[in-house]
Each structure stands twice: as structure tokens, then as C-alpha cells.
Chains A and B, each alone.
Chain A
Amino acid sequence: MTHTGIVVEGLRHSYGGRPAVDGLSFSVQKGEIVGFLGANGAGKTTTLRTIAGTLEPDAGSVHVAGVDTRREPLVARTKTGYLAEHDGLWDGMTTRAVLAFHGAVRGLEGALLEQRLAWLSQRLELVPVFDKRVRECSLGFRRRIALAAALVHDPEVVLLDEPTHGLDPLQTRAFRALLLEIAPHKAVLFSTHVLQEVEAVCTRVLVLQTGRLVLDAHLRDLRLQAQALHCTVEDLVVRAAARTQAEVATP
């Protein structure tokens, strides 16, 4: 497998017999930023968790940066940066300690680690809280600390679950700029409910409905289609998300 991004094939996962993700297949190439859309409970978080390796799929395969997440889960995780839905930060640690720990676990040491911490603290504007405990930080700062922890080892694959949740408009704009800056060297998949965000940064969009992919399209194609149909990209995405499973099954 020489693919440098994400390859998901036939992914299935169920909770107590209820399928959350059902036969999902897609790929994200290096250099792509792909928006992951869908209603609550559509299976976005489950999909991101199985790619990140925090959840074992019932069936199917996931490759990140050419590594099978089932066969070599630890290697796959060194190549992945994952921002979870809940920031998952240890309250008692300082920002510096959190980032140093995440870096050290991924093999970063000494000057290289310090260099990454300095870059991330500058880029994500974490300097004011760098030596503060996480519990003393606002929601916006916590989200950015978690994002820095996901990026500290400069991963090839970046998975972001609602990354701008809790950020103010300025912070959201800064986040988008960072994403565009790092994207040429990474495969980025992020879930969101905000279509404007997808339109602002994404090259492609995936729409999930009840665990199935109902739309996989390049944004430029969607824009052209919207122009032709005299509607908006949002209309097309909403229409796709509103399809029933029977419609999905019928070509």
C-alpha cells in the first residue's frame, strides 16, 4: 500500500447491534482537506475514532499513511494526529507539560521537541497559557491546546472532530489559516456542522447519513452544479443528507 493519506474500505461498526457505520469506503489523499458532514448520529465521530485507532471496527480496513491500523496500530498512531470531540486534556497539567508529554510519547526529544512546542505555541497563540494549568484555561484555549497536542509530532494524517467548537470568530479564522498552511503536506479529515467552514478550507466534502456515504464530491464540482441548478452548495449538501437509505441503495 503506497497511499500516503487515508484509505477506508468496507468499514462497519455497531453499538449493541445498531450499525453506526455501515460499509463505508472512501480515501483522502495527501494534500487534501476533506470536510466530513452529516447530522448528529450519522456516524462521523465513530468513523474518525476507528481511523484514529481508538475504536476497533467490526469489519473493513483502515490504512493511514500506508499502514494498516489493525495490523500495526501503534505505528499507525504515530502517523496520526487526532483531535477528539471532547478535548481530552488532563486538567492538572500545564499546557507545556501536556504538549511535551504528547511529543515525548511520539518520540520527540530535546531541541526538536522544544522547537515544535515553540512553533505551536506561537502559531496557535498559546503563549499566555503556556505555563498555566489546563483547568485555568478558557474553552477556546483548551480547544487550541488539544489541537496543538494533535499536531505536535507533525503527523501525516490529521483527524479533527469539530475542531472549531468553542472558538471565537478570530480564533476560527486563525485555525483555518493554520489548516491551509499545513495541508499541502498532510491528509486532513475534519467533521463539522458548519458548511461555511467546509467552503472556506476544504477541497472535498463527504456527507454521511445513518452510517452510509451519501455524497463524495469535490467542492469545485459542487459549486458548478449549484450554479447550473440555481441553488447553493448548502442546498446540494442538505439534499444529499436528507436522502433516505432506500434512495441510497437505488442507483
Chain B
Amino acid sequence: MTTGSRTGRAAWSRGVYLVARREAQATLDSNVAVATLIVALVASIAPFVQGFFLSGVVDATPFFLALPWTLALCLAALSMRLWSEEVRLRTMETWRALPLSPLQLVLGKWLSALLLHAVYLLLTTPVLLLLAAHGPVEWSRIAGGYMGSLLLGAWLLALGAWISSTTRDQTTAYVLSALTALALLALGDLRVWTVIDGWFPHAQAGSWLAAHLSPLSACQSLARGLVGLDAVVLLLGQTALFLWLNQQSLRAKTR
């Protein structure tokens, strides 16, 4: 049989694209995805709008500063099904029999979830219109906030996808993903890392963890419009690590 003429990198990318497209269709077919989108929108926009009308300050920073906590809870609902659903439906073997590498599968699934996250971010833009209608808006801050939110979404979804590949149960995947994400974020909170520093005053373990492990400070600086290379590297580096762990987890399942 003569098949498509794509070779090398083009064929590899097409494989990722096909997986992402199939997953996007499956996501749209699932009520969980739509419900997650609605809950995330309400949970992130409603408190901000209420705060805005109470304070009257035209600033999008509080919206982006609150987002990591909301997204940690909401995106776990999206990532929980990525692999554990396949185990439930007994479709893992179907994936493994296809001429696609574990990395193609991992990237395809992750990109499809990231696309939905991008849709969510797009749907939050009316907040900007609300701000712009009430005064001058600092667009550089907003651009930084959206960039940080996109990177944070990529980080959360990579973490959640990896955890989903380690369990058969979606509820377990949700709880573990949300708790791990919240714990890693909390390590970057001033109140938490100062307490840890107090426990180990010589090692300064709290400040070290906040700077090198938690993505919170990276998100906070991006939310303030400060696009630092260290923040981007931290978020992208950890995202790549979780995607690699996800791939390793899939490889282990064939042994």
C-alpha cells in the first residue's frame, strides 16, 4: 500500500498533530471539559470583578496573581482524564500499537489540553475591556500576565498528565495533581517559605525552594509585567521535566 509521502520531521509532527486533534475532539465530547471551562471562568473572573468595583483601581495584576490557585484546582480536572481515561476504556493498548512514539503521544495529549487552556484565557479577555472602559490600562503588564498564565497552564497540564499516567483512577489523578500543584505553588508563598526558613535557619531551605522549585514567584513577576528569563526557564524547564516523566511512565507500562 502506498501511503503519504511525509518523512522525518514532517511525519513526526503530523503524528503529534493527529493525536492532538483526536484528543481535542474527545475533550469537546466530554462534559467535564466544558464544565471545567465554565467553573474556571466563573472562579477567576467573578472575584476579580467584585474586587474591581469595590476598589475602583484599574489594574489587572490581582486577576493574574489569583490565577495560579484557581488554575491548580481547575486544570487538574482537565488533565486527570488524559491517561487514566485510556486505562478505564482499555484503549492504552490501541495507542501502543500505533506507529507513534511515547513522546508523540505525550505531546499530542498535552497540546490538546493546552489548546483548551488557551481558549479559556481568550474567554477572559472581556475583563480587559471592562478595565479599559474605566481608565488607562498597562498593556505590557497584561501581556506579561497572559504569558505567565499560558506558561503556568502548560506547567500544570504537564504535571497533571504525568500524574494521570501513574494511576488508573481519575479521582485519584485529580486529587494528586491538585494537591501537588498547590503544594509546589505554596512553597513560593512568603508565609510558607519564611516558616520553612525558620525550621532550617542555616540552610535557608525555604527561600531556596521558593526560588528554584516553586513556580509561584515566576508567575507573580510575569503578572507584574516583569518578563524575566529565569522565570520563563523555570516554568519551561519543569514543564519539560514533567513531560519527560510522563513519557518514561508510558515506556514503563510496556515492560
Contacts and interface: CB of A to CB of B under 8 A. Distances in A.
Contacts of A82: 97
Contacts of B11: 107
B93 A84 contact: yes
Interface in A200-227: none
Contacts of B26: 90, 92-93
A101 B22 contact: yes
B5 to A, nearest CB: 8
8 contacts: A54-B97, A74-B101, A82-B97, A84-B93, A92-B25, A92-B30, A93-B22, A106-B98
A106 B99 contact: yes
Interface of A: 49, 52-56, 74-75, 77-78, 80, 82, 84, 86, 88-93, 97, 101-102, 104-109, 112, 153-154
Contacts of B22: 90, 93, 101
Contacts of B98: 77, 102, 105-106
Given A88-B90, A93-B25, A107-B11, A112 B2 contact: yes
Contact of B100 (A92, A93, A105): A105
Contacts of B55: none
Residue among A88, A91, A93, A97 with the highest chain B CB neighbour number at 10 A: A88
Contacts of A104: 18
Interface of B: 1-4, 6, 11, 15, 18, 22, 25-26, 29-30, 89-91, 93-94, 96-101, 254-255
B4 A53 contact: no
A162 to B, nearest CB: 14
Contacts of A75: 99
A208 to B, nearest CB: 20
B4 A86 contact: no
B93 A54 contact: yes
